Amino acid sequence: MMAIIGPERMMVDMTQFIREDFLRWESYQKSPRTANHSSDGVIELMPVSDAALFAFKYVNGHRKNPLRQLSTVMAFGVLAEVSTGYPVLLSELTIATALRTAATSALAASVLARPGSRSMAVIGNGAQSEFQILAFMSQLGIDEIRAYDVDGSASAKMVANLQPYIDCGRLRIQVAASAQQAADGADIITTITADKTNATILHGEMVEPGMHLNAVGGDCPGKTELAASILDKSMVVVEYEPQTRIEGELQQMAPDFAVKALWKILAGAEQGRTNAHQITLFDSVGFALEDLSALRYLYQIATQKSIGRKIEIVPSMRDPKDLWGCAMDTSAELLLAA
C-alpha cells in the first residue's frame, strides 16, 4: 500500500486520523499494553475501543532476530465492530507502525517544537529513522539532518534509502562522528536507538535551550535513552501516562513528576510550548489508540481502492446456534493458519 500511495501521503493522512482520535480521547476505553517477557524478547498485546470500534495489535521485540534473518520487531492488527464483535480488517502493522509512530512524532512536534525549526539530529539510524525523517520533512519543513549511529552501516543504509530526497534538494544529511556532534545546534533531537537497556544516549549538556526532544527509543521497562536531568529541565508530554510511567523515559522519575497529556494540548485544554527558550520533550512509547487510527485509515483506503482480499476467519454457519453442525459440515470453509 505504501508503494501505491507513497510514504509522505500516508503519514500526512495518518497524522490527521491520529489527531481526530486524540481529540476524542475520553470516548475510548484504554489500558497499558499487556507484555509477556522472556530471555529472548517480549510479545505484547495492545487493545483499545470506543462505542463503535475495537482494535488490538500483536507486536514483538526480539533483539537477536536479525541473526535468524527475522525482523527485530513485527506486528499485525485487527479492527472489529463493537456492535457484533466481528472483525472487519486483519492487517500487517509492521510497516504501518513505523508510519503511525512517525506521524505521531510529527503531530507532537507541531505543537511543541519552535516554529521555523529546520534541523534535526537523528540518533539511531535503524528501521524507524527514514520514517521519522520523512514525517518531519513533509510536515514541519525539516531539511537538515545530522545523523549518528554506533553502527556506521545503519547510517549508510539510511542515507542510501533517502538519496532521492537528497538528489532533489529536499534534504541535506550529514553523518556525524558522535551523538554530541549530531545534537550540537539542532532544533530537534530524535533518539531512536534499539538496544533494550537503560542507556544514556543524550546527556544534559547536549541539550540546549529551545530544543524539542522526540524520545522514541525508550519503549519498554528497563530501557531509557535520556539522562534523568534532561527531564528535570523539560516540559514533558506523554501519550498515555499510566503506560509511559512503566515504559518511557518517565520510568526514571518519581511518581509525582509532573507531565502533560498530548491530547489535552491538541484540544487546547493545556498549553504546549510557551516560549522560544523552553525545552520540550515528547516521551513517546507508542499507544494503542494510534494503532486504531492506523487501522481505521488502512480500512478506508483498502475499501476505496479495493486493496486486499476477503478471508473467512470466522466460520459461516447456516444456523448460528448450531456450532456442532457447522463443525461437522464438510462444506464449511475454515481458514487454518500455517
213 exposure class (CB count in 10 Å sphere: 0-12, 13-18, 19+)? buried
- Greater confidence (276 vs 4) lies with 276
DSSP category for residue 229:
H
Chain region(s) in the chain for CATH 3.30.1780.10:
2-95+290-328
Separation of CA 279 from chain center: 22
Q: Which of 78-92, 219-233, 297-311: highest mean pLDDT?
A: 78-92
Asked if 96 contacts 79 with a C-beta cutoff of 8 angstroms, the reply is no
| Mean pLDDT within 314-328 | 87
pLDDT for 335 equals 44
Name the residue type at position 144.
E
Reduced to 3 states (helix: H, G, I; strand: E, B; else coil), residue 294 is helix
Q: What is the DSSP letter of 220?
A: B
Residue 199, pLDDT score: 82
| CA proximity to 126, closest of 203, 184, 205, 71 | 71
Domain with CATH 3.40.50.720 in the chain: 114-287
Nearest Cα to Cα of residue 301 among 71, 133, 19, 89? 89
Beta pairing partners, 226: 202
Q: Are 225 and 231 in contact (CB under 8 A)?
A: no
Residues 228-251 have pLDDT tens digits of: 999 999 999 999 999 999 999 999
At which residue does the C-alpha cell 512536534 appear? 109
Cα torsion angle, 77, 41, 244, 136, sign: negative
Amino acid found at 67: L
CA distance 10 to 48: 22
| CATH architecture for residues 2-95+290-328 | 2-Layer Sandwich (3.30)
**Single-letter residue type at 184:** D
Query: How many Cβ atoms are within 10 Å of 55's Cβ, its own excluded?
Result: 26
Q: According to the model, what pLDDT value does residue 129 have?
A: 97
Does the structure show a pLDDT above 80 at 331?
A: no
User: In the predicted model, is pLDDT for residue 52 greater than 80?
Assistant: yes
Return the residue matching grid coordinates 527475522. Answer: 70
What are the pLDDT digits (tens) for 103-137?
999 999 999 999 999 999 999 999 999 999 999 99
Could you give the percent of the chain with pLDDT greater than 70? 97
Contact 183, 206 (CB under 8 A): yes
Closest by alpha carbon to 298, among 308, 286, 288, 289?
Answer: 308
User: Superfamily assignment of 114-287 in CATH?
Assistant: NAD(P)-binding Rossmann-like Domain (3.40.50.720)
Q: Quick one: pLDDT at residue 268?
A: 97
Model confidence pLDDT, tens digit, residues 57-82: 999 989 899 999 999 899 999 999 99
Enzyme catalytic residues: 219
Write out the three cell numbers for 259. Answer: 507531565
Alpha carbon of residue 134 to chain centroid = 14
Least confident of 10-24, 149-163, 188-202: 188-202
Q: How far is the C-alpha of 60 from the C-alpha of 73, rounded, in Å?
A: 5
Span 276-301, average pLDDT: 97
